[in-house]
Amino acid sequence: IYFSSNAEDALLFFTGYVIEKSLSIDNIFVFLLIFSSLHIDIDHQRKILYWGILGALIFRMGLIFIGVSVLTQYHFMYYLFGAFLAITGIRLFFDAKPSPGIASNPVYILCRKFLPISTDPMDRGFLVRKQGRYFVTASFLALILIETADIVFALDSIPAILAVTTNSFIVYTSNVFAILGLRSLYFVLAHYQKRLCYFGYGLGAILVFIGGKMCLAPFYELGVEVTLLVISVILGITLFSSVYFSREK
């Protein structure tokens, strides 16, 4: 982008990438919860994440183009998106605790109610046939939960990137590159989950900052350099605090 377009577009891309990557860490913690609750082994998690990420790329393409169209046609949506991000950030900041489990998840409840589910941990694939009937496996259930969780998280991350730029190419490509590295990042963070004890507070602060930036956009345009600097400082403080204080515990 730097060589084919200009330095400003390259910086916008990198800022969008950093935003999506940092907010994706919250996704990873939810993925860990889903896999552990459904007792999915490590080897099979790779396959589920592959299809989950592929589905996320398709879903996000639609959400991004809808978001860009809405913001370019209806400028008052900046205030609504900004307020939504700020409120989400405040809620996350004051309730930065792990989710209690998937048993209360509405999608999980609906799947358990309407789909025939095989509970055999040895079943591979997403569908199995037993006694003339087809059953969905725990892997299929995990895939559905991951896809729906990603859609919910995209409602935060996509408006956050749209606060930086409404260039649909930059927004989508920064999303794509951030998501493509999600599977590798998942297996790294799976070992360090307990040490990132303050990361939720950092994500909350980032969302509040971006929400405020979006609300002020019609009156004052905060430079992308300042935006990237603030996000980097918040992430740095959060990571340092998490590692330092978790070591003391």
pLDDT tens for residues 65-96? 888 888 888 878 888 888 888 888 888 777 65
Domain hosting 124: range is 7-248
With 70 as the cut, is the pLDDT of residue 118 above it? yes
With respect to residue 25, please indicate whether it lies within any of the assigned structural domains: yes
With respect to residue 183, please indicate whether it lies within any of the assigned structural domains: yes
Give the pLDDT mean for 105-122: 80
With 80 as the cut, is the pLDDT of residue 195 above it? no
Could you please report the per-residue DSSP string of 56-123?
Answer: HHHHHHHHHHHHHHHHHH-TTHHHHHHHHHHHHHHHHHHT------STT-HHHHHHHHHS-B---TT-
The Cα–Cα gap between 124 and 229 comes to 46
Q: Please indicate whether residue 200 or residue 49 has the higher confidence score (pLDDT).
A: 49
The Cα–Cα gap between 229 and 239 comes to 15
Supply the pLDDT for residue 14: 92
The Cα–Cα gap between 130 and 109 comes to 23
Q: How many domains does the chain have?
A: 1
**Residues 130-167 pLDDT 10s:** 878 888 888 888 889 888 888 888 877 888 888 888 88
**Residues 211-246 pLDDT 10s:** 888 888 778 777 888 888 988 898 888 888 877 776
Residue 99 binned pLDDT confidence (cut-offs 50, 70, 90): low
Task: Pull the structure tokens for residue 205.
Answer: 């602060």
Give the pLDDT mean for 176-193: 77
Give the pLDDT mean for 40-63: 86
With respect to residue 1, please indicate whether it lies within any of the assigned structural domains: no
Task: Pull the structure tokens for residue 29.
Answer: 């913690």
With 80 as the cut, is the pLDDT of residue 59 above it? yes
**Poorest-pLDDT segment among 99-103, 160-164, 204-208:** 99-103
Residue 13 binned pLDDT confidence (cut-offs 50, 70, 90): very high
With respect to residue 199, please indicate whether it lies within any of the assigned structural domains: yes
What is the residue type of 168? S
With respect to residue 2, please indicate whether it lies within any of the assigned structural domains: no
With respect to residue 59, please indicate whether it lies within any of the assigned structural domains: yes
Contact yes or no for 19/228 (Cβ under 8 A):
no
Nearest to 160 by CA among 41, 2, 17: 17
Supply the pLDDT for residue 132: 80
